[in-house]
């Protein structure tokens, strides 16, 4: 079983290197390929663009029959990211019944990149982020951008990432929601736009189509423009 997972992850790594997706890198940090580090930049034409996030991806010998555990080390203020653990909460990662063997390392990372600017708000793991986004999009944007200079970062048992001077990495202490909410509570008043209420990731065909768009190096749809 472990040999099968190793072979599949080797294949996934080769696929990722061949496609060279913009804003996405990943690399194994263990010899058995079960532990990975990754860097994701937000999509172009969104306010997430230019923000870089470090993640860990932990596979098991049962891959690709079961999903990996994905956690942000640079924890964004986001409805679908646990603000305490950094765990990314997407249906196909959380629910084994929604996971299929068609998912690869590349499709997982692409889904996470899309998730940043297209959050699912039905069952948010970070309720404060979801409520702020629904009530006041401009305030939410200000908080995300303001906090990126001092993001919450996981420190225990974190893998050592390869040093890469081309990648932007910020490290500082975590702060509470109340602290940063008070900081930004007087900024902006506009409502969140309607497309936040239509999560793209609920469409089972979306990831497949998005994957094709990325390979063709097409421009992102206007629906992703959050400016």
Q: What is the DSSP letter of 81?
A: B
pTM: 0.68
Local structure of 54: helix, strand or coil? strand
* pLDDT surpassing 90 at residue 99: yes
Lowest-pLDDT range, 62-66, 179-183, 205-209? 179-183
The tens digit of pLDDT for each residue in 59-70 reads 999 999 999 999
Beta strand 74-75 with 35-41 is unpaired
Q: What is the DSSP letter of 221?
A: P
Six-digit token string for 90? 């997407």
Strand partners, 88: 81
Q: At what angle do helices 105-117 and 2-19 cross, to 10 degrees?
A: 60
Please report which confidence band the pLDDT of residue 190 belongs to, taking 50, 70 and 90 as the band edges: very low
Q: How far apart are CA 70 and CA 78, in angstroms?
A: 15
Percent of the chain with pLDDT over 70: 65
Residues 70-78, mean pLDDT to the nearest whole number: 96
Question: Which architecture, in CATH terms, is 3-141?
Answer: Roll (3.10)
More confident of the two residues 86 and 171? 86
Q: Quote the distance between the C-alpha of residue 65 and its chain's center.
A: 22
Catalytic one of 24, 88, 89, 139: 89
Q: How far apart are CA 219 and CA 214, in angstroms?
A: 8
What pLDDT sits at residue 178? 52
Which residues have CB under 8 Å from 145's CB, separation 6+?
A: 47, 51
80-84, 157-161, 196-200: which is most confident: 80-84
Residues 23-39, mean pLDDT to the nearest whole number: 96
Q: Is 89 a catalytic residue?
A: yes
In the chain, the N- to C-terminal Cα span, in Å, equals 47
Please report which confidence band the pLDDT of residue 150 belongs to, taking 50, 70 and 90 as the band edges: low
What pLDDT sits at residue 147? 87
The tens digit of pLDDT for each residue in 109-134 reads 999 999 999 999 988 999 999 999 99
């Amino acid at each position: 079983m472990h040999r099968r997972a190793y072979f599949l992850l080797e294949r996934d790594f080769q696929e990722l290197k061949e496609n060279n997706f913009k804003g996405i890198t990943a690399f194994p940090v263990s010899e058995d390929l079960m532990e990975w580090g990754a860097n994701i930049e937000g999509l172009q034409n969104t306010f997430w663009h230019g923000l870089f996030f470090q993640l860990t991806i932990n596979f098991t010998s049962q891959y690709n029959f079961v999903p990996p555990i994905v956690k942000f080390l640079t924890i964004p203020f986001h409805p679908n990211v646990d603000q305490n653990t950094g765990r990314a909460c997407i249906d196909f990662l959380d629910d084994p019944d929604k996971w299929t063997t068609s998912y690869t390392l590349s499709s997982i990372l692409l889904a996470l990149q899309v998730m940043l600017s297209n959050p699912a708000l039905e069952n948010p793991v970070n309720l404060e982020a979801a409520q702020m986004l629904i009530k006041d999009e401009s305030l939410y944007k200000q908080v995300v951008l303001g906090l990126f200079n001092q993001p919450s970062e996981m420190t225990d048992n974190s893998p050592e990432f390869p040093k890469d001077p081309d990648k932007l990495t910020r490290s500082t202490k975590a702060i509470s929601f109340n602290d940063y909410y008070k900081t930004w509570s007087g900024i902006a008043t506009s409502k969140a736009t309607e497309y936040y209420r239509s999560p793209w990731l609920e469409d089972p065909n979306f990831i497949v189509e998005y994957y094709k768009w990325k390979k063709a190096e097409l421009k992102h749809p206007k629906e992703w423009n959050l400016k």
